[in-house]
Amino acid sequence: DAKTTQPNSMESNEEEPVHLPCNHSTISGTDYIHWYRQLPSQGPEYVIHGLTSNVNNRMASLAIAEDRKSSTLILHRATLRDAAVYYCILRSRGRNFNKFYFGSGTKLNVKP
Amino acid sequence: NAGVMQNPRHLVRRRGQEARLRCSPMKGHSHVYWYRQLPEEGLKFMVYLQKENIIDESGMPKERFSAEFPKEGPSILRIQQVVRGDSAAYFCASSPFSAPSSYNEQFFGPGTRLTVL
């Protein structure tokens, strides 16, 4: 299964944009890139996903490199409620599609 | 529309006892997944079930752990003869279908935190 690499932690100031990177150099052509986040003492929640094109939703934007070997989750204006662990996950079509592989993620700290 | 429900939220057991963790999926969801999270680590896949069927249990320890999702009622993760190493947060997720669609997200419950004394 393709692996992802993320920084252990990042820090941001409230109201400023945050760029969370993810490297996935062994991604295959049919792997989807998903982002989930886990707030303290809660289960993970879906943030965004994409395949090849950049994606936007009400929570965040996802920028995918042209060669798909990396991606960046963008929070346009961080709030204190965005402090969480962010996981970048590759989902492969096929029999392992429903098995999420969570790495260690990036712990985002938002300073007021 | 209630989300995924798990109970109990906290469970304390002594070594050798049994632990039963329950998960009620979102309404209309027939696929359930169990994950385990050790402190300071990411979630690890354990098992994937549909109603009355185990689809993938490749992440389940070979002994003491079992899971079921009966036709009626919640999914149950059962741990027999618990040991201290079983202390972790156990999360359940559900989805409406399993086809590899990009919209097939998993919705997670709040987790059960198991402590083995």
Question: Is the distance from CB of B23 to CB of B107 less than 8 angstroms?
Answer: no
**Which of A45, A49, A99 is opposite residue B108, by nearest beta carbon?**
A45
What is the pLDDT, as a whole number, of residue B41? 86
Cis check for the bond before B8: say yes or no (omega within 30 of 0). Answer: yes
What is the pLDDT, as a whole number, of residue A103? 85
φ/ψ of A81, rounded to 5, equals: -75, -10
Alpha-carbon gap, residue A65 to A71, rounded angstroms: 6
pLDDT tens over chain B, length 117 residues? 579 999 999 999 999 999 999 999 999 888 999 999 998 888 999 999 998 899 999 999 999 999 999 999 999 999 999 999 999 999 999 988 765 555 678 899 999 999 999
Please give the average per-residue pLDDT across A91-111, as a whole number: 85
**Which of B42, B55, B98 is opposite residue A103, by nearest beta carbon?**
B42
What is the pLDDT, as a whole number, of residue B98? 60
Give B-chain residues touching A98 at CB under 8 angstroms. 31, 33, 48, 55-56, 95, 98, 104, 106
% pLDDT > 70, chain A? 97
Please give the average per-residue pLDDT across A58-72, as a whole number: 95
Give B-chain residues touching A87 at CB under 8 angstroms. 42
Alpha-carbon gap, residue A84 to A107, rounded angstroms: 6
**Which of B59, B91, B100 is opposite residue A43, by nearest beta carbon?**
B91
What is the pLDDT, as a whole number, of residue A43? 95
Residues of A with CB under 8 A from a CB of B: 32, 41-46, 49, 51, 87, 91, 93-95, 97-105
What is the pLDDT, as a whole number, of residue B1? 55
pLDDT interval class at A100 (50, 70, 90): confident
Per-residue model confidence as pLDDT tens digits over A4-29: 999 999 999 999 999 999 999 988 88
Å between A8 CA and nearest CA of chain B: 11
φ/ψ of A80, rounded to 5, equals: -60, -30
Alpha-carbon gap, residue B4 to B96, rounded angstroms: 12
What is the pLDDT, as a whole number, of residue A30? 83
DSSP string covering B21-55, please? Answer: EEEEPPTT--EEEEEEE-TTS-EEEEEEEETTEEE
Dihedral, A25, A30, A31, A34 alpha carbons, nearest 10 = 130
Alpha-carbon gap, residue B58 to A99, rounded angstroms: 10
What is the pLDDT, as a whole number, of residue A33? 92
What is the pLDDT, as a whole number, of residue A14? 96
Give the C-alpha distances (Å, rounded to integers) separating A77 from A17, A89, A107, B1, B6: 5, 23, 17, 29, 32
* Residue B95 to residue A98, Cβ atoms within 8 A: yes
Identify from B108, B112, B113 which residue to disrupt to test chain A contact, counting A C-beta atoms within 10 A and taking the largest count.
B108
